[in-house]
Structure 1
């Protein structure tokens, strides 16, 4: 019986991967309901401005070389990142290039997103970044700034536990965590929103891989984590009801300086 339930669940998830017709489905956007916010309201008390000058940060400009050398890297040296390097990685993954539209605004970013909905927020577990105290941070993409949220006691151990014992993630100089606010996409795409959001998450992380290679760093994407523990570390509102505030972890990646050959 258990095997039959698993097989049924697998078949249901396969259906989610397919293109489906939404003919006759009325979205909240079509009904004229208010557009959800494009980003979260600032929650922290300490704001850190970030540079947009990346000329001195990028070490490799050969795109073919970046593609050929891109691999998942889990072993990092004790050397930390500079704030300028972290700024570049944040801009490369969720940077806002322009805000367009009048009544219904949208952000043009460094990564594509279905309908320019960009349903993600970026959080960081910081251990070794020049000028930043260890703790949890949130990226304010619209302003290209960081906000310090809180110190996390025994951070490396608690993060490693939440991410299925992957200690390289808990101990990395900087670990990226992307949360999703589904209603940003559901407002327009209803039942297609979830497939689109997962596709968009891949765009974000691939940019992190290439940007990390460009500054002589390594990264490793993380898909295995304990949902409840990962959400709790960030104090997320995971209420499963149909609300714009619903938010939960969907993807993560560690970043650090790799050992020299």
Structure 2
């Protein structure tokens, strides 16, 4: 299948054919939770080399909450929108991670276990306005997501699960089949930012590739075609050694 994403198979894109551009950010109705302004946040600084060299996948966490300020900072530096440029022909989002052609096919969902002032539940990150939207606070949902993630205990024990989805057409509009390669590269950039920012906050992260896509899509109200889960990562405060 990989050969179908090579440049020679790219062909003529919808953008080349004059098809109207797709939207570059998703919005959602529901209970809105304002996040602290990330540009006003300040945390103790760490040396970048130390952060990179100390980064490792962490699967066990303390039972300490993370703060709403920390969550805001993590979201901003992984998927925050610096600027949107749009006209009738093209629209792009400029973010804190690289993305092919500034198309950014990704959306961020959170399953929160322990974040100050937030209910346990499923949230959508509105990247345009840097806000959260509460989607589902059913107390049975944690168990369902844990089951769908192959019963990995860190899903229950972490402070928050980051769940990224992809809307493939945002990138395919320009790059056709090549986009399926690009969107996986894009989510890798995002997850690495999460690892590094988390390390700077004395948090740990573990990326998850073992999950049942269809179940996670269902819990996020995704159709699995126009939008589908693409990656998951757990995050929490490190246990004291």
Same fold by TM (over 0.5)? yes
For residues 104-156 of structure 1, the C-alpha deviation after alignment (integer angstroms, 9 at most, x for no partner) is 22111000000001101100001110011111000000111111111133233
Structure 1 partner of 2:146:
160
> What is the alpha-carbon distance in structure 2 between the residues aligned to residue 199 and residue 56 of structure 1?
29
Normalising by the residue count of structure 1, what TM-score does the alignment of the two structures yield? Answer: 0.87
Tell me if 1:86 matches 2:71.
yes
For the residues of structure 2 that align with 1:187 and 1:124, how far apart are their CA atoms? 27
CA distance in 1, matches of 2:22, 2:124: 19
- The 1:170/1:155 distance shift into structure 2, 3 A limit, reads farther
Mapped to 2, the partners of 1:90 and 1:231 lie a distance apart of: 21
Q: Cα offset for 1:171?
A: 3.0
Per-residue CA shift, 1:215-259, capped at 9, x if unaligned?
Answer: 111110011101111111111122x4xxxxx11111010010011
Contact 1:126 1:136 in 2 (8 A): yes
- Structure 1 unaligned regions, length at least 5: 1-11, 241-245
Q: RCO greater where, 1 or 2, for CA within 8 Å and sep 6 or more?
A: 2
**Paired residue for 2:207?**
221
8 Å Cα contact 1:111-1:203 kept in structure 2 = yes
Instruction: Classify 1:149/1:66 alpha carbon distance in 2 versus 1 (closer, same or farther; 3 Å).
Output: same
- In structure 2, what is the equivalent of residue 145 of structure 1? 131
Report the Cα offset of residue 170 of structure 1. Answer: 2.9
Q: What is the correspondence of 1:64-213 to structure 2 with a 5 Å cutoff?
A: 64-103=49-88, 104-213=90-199
Structure 1: distance between partners of 2:41 and 2:91: 33
Give the Cα–Cα distance (whole angstroms) in 1 for the partners of residues 169 and 55 of structure 2: 33
Partners of 2:121 and 2:142 within 8 A in 1:
no
Q: Which 5+ residue runs of structure 2 have no aligned equivalent?
A: none
Q: TM-score by structure 2 length?
A: 0.94
Q: Which runs of 4+ in 1 moved over 6 A?
A: none
Shift of 1:58: 2.6
Matched residues, number? 240
| Aligned match of 1:20 | 7
